[in-house]
Amino acid sequence: MKDFIKQAAHVRPSANQLRLLTETPFYAFIHFSPNTYTNLEWGTGDEDPTIFNPVNLDCDGWCEAVKSAGMKGVVITAKHHDGFCLWQTKYADHSMKKSPYKNGNGDIVKELSEACRRHGLKFGFYLSPWDRHSELYGTDEYNDYYKAQLTELLTNYGEIFHVWFDGACGEGPNGKKQIYDFDGYFELIHKYQPNATIFNDKGPIRWCGNEDGSSRHAEWAVVPSELCPNCEIQTEPGPLNGDLSYMYNMDENIGSLSNILYSKGLVFAPSEVDMSIRPGWFYHENEEPHSLDRLFDTYLRSVGGNTTFILNIPPKPDGTFDKKDVKRLKELGEKIRGSFSANLAEGKRITIEPYRGSDSQCTVEIDLEKEENIAYLEICENIANGQRIESFFVQRFNDGRWENKFEGTTVGARKIVRFSDEFTAIKLRIFVTASRDMPEFGKIAVY
């Protein structure tokens, strides 16, 4: 068992996974389709394409709003379930060709990808496998059609940082459900955009299990291979004989020691938290953006909880963002920057020592040199070498003794500890009480 736990400690991310987790953990989703004009969330596929007419399309304004929140990339719904394509595809007329926008010559994907480059944002796309318009859906030929469209998006719009698939699947006109050729889809992405990360229910970037911004109390990127067969197995099977076929992304403790011991092997598959700035994914005039507190809390629990965070902002029918959403994004960015701009531990002595000779427990002492007001602590493992920490305390030195202020579980790429009440301290200590191997730390910051 000890050998297996040591192996678990050294399950490593791919270069693409590492880049997303550490460089681009916060990015935007943009849901835009005929649904924007019909007030639906899932289109039927028989909408009149002439209703799609964003007369004031402002992709530069989108990018400015996204950047104001601190996001680093944008993912557009190039095609949602209704099958309407936001680009000039060669393979379907149910597309911008039939839109009045620019007399049928518009290309939303092109305009946004170019705007992203102007504003220093990464660009990605969502291509719904479910197509409620295509007569090919439910047949083997549909996969060829889908891959042809996927190839267009992968080859005509510059560097792609993220490709987003969901698992929605319905019946085609023939009454049969489509069997998606995800292996073939992935092969095209690896061929044309080898640096792109892929979101899919089964990895390499996996679904968090909900669409309301919730995250787990303990989030592991190292999970059983049964959960994410799209990822490379990096360990031997667990030492206990059992079965994890019941497991799904909605389960709470998928990476816990009690589960992985029954696995057929472990993979690295970080979670992505997704939610919309409003209750719906598409724009509905009667909805209001979520509160600043809810959005900031989601940021802390996702980006600050070993996941990435994709936040949707739906354009209005005229192609602009609602002013209320733009204001809320600016407020969110100001809140994030204001909370994490001044690292009180910068240049201070940080001492890391094994705890009483242990090879899997340690203490990290931070000497702030003078009394400081403490609101947050940021801890990062060197995730390139694996995720290891299972539990920890945060303590302050007060009246000659160490006093517990927070009890946590996993750390991973980034853990932002938000203390329930601000307090003052000269010294802080992170006491790692359980780890799968001696922790390796990256950034440690105090705010």
* pLDDT given at position 174: 85
Q: Please spell the DSSP secondary structure of 227-273, one letter per residue.
A: T-TTS---SPPPSS----TT--TT-S-TTSHHHHTTSS-EEE--EEE
* pLDDT given at position 279: 97
* pLDDT given at position 346: 97
400 exposure class (CB count in 10 Å sphere: 0-12, 13-18, 19+): exposed
Considering all CA atoms of the chain, what is the largest pairwise distance in Å, rounded to the nearest integer?
Answer: 75
* pLDDT given at position 215: 86
* pLDDT given at position 253: 87
The rounded distance, in Å, linking the Cα atoms of 428 and 284 is 47
* pLDDT given at position 149: 98
Tell me phi and psi for residue 159, to 5 degrees: -65, 130
Which position has the token pair 């509905």? 284
* pLDDT given at position 124: 98
* pLDDT given at position 179: 94
Tell me phi and psi for residue 300, to 5 degrees: -60, -40
107 exposure class (CB count in 10 Å sphere: 0-12, 13-18, 19+): buried
* pLDDT given at position 171: 86
Q: Please spell the DSSP secondary structure of 211-224, one letter per residue.
A: SSS---SS--SEEE
* pLDDT given at position 212: 86
* pLDDT given at position 364: 98
H or E element at residue 109 = helix 108-118
* pLDDT given at position 75: 98
- pLDDT digit string, tens, across residues 248-304: 888 888 999 999 999 999 999 999 999 999 999 999 999 999 999 999 999 999 999
Task: Please say whether the beta carbons of 215 and 307 come within 8 A.
Answer: yes
Which position has the token pair 């947050």? 376
* pLDDT given at position 176: 86
The rounded distance, in Å, linking the Cα atoms of 54 and 99 is 9
Sequence-ordered alpha helix ranges (H) in 261-371: 292-302, 323-339
Residues of the chain whose pLDDT is less than 70?
none
Query: Where in 165-211 does DSSP place strands (E)?
Result: 197-199, 206-207
SS (H, E, C) 48-78: CHHHCCCCCCCHHHHHHHHHHCCCCEEEEEE
The model's pTM? 0.97
User: DSSP class of residue 344?
Assistant: T
* pLDDT given at position 172: 83
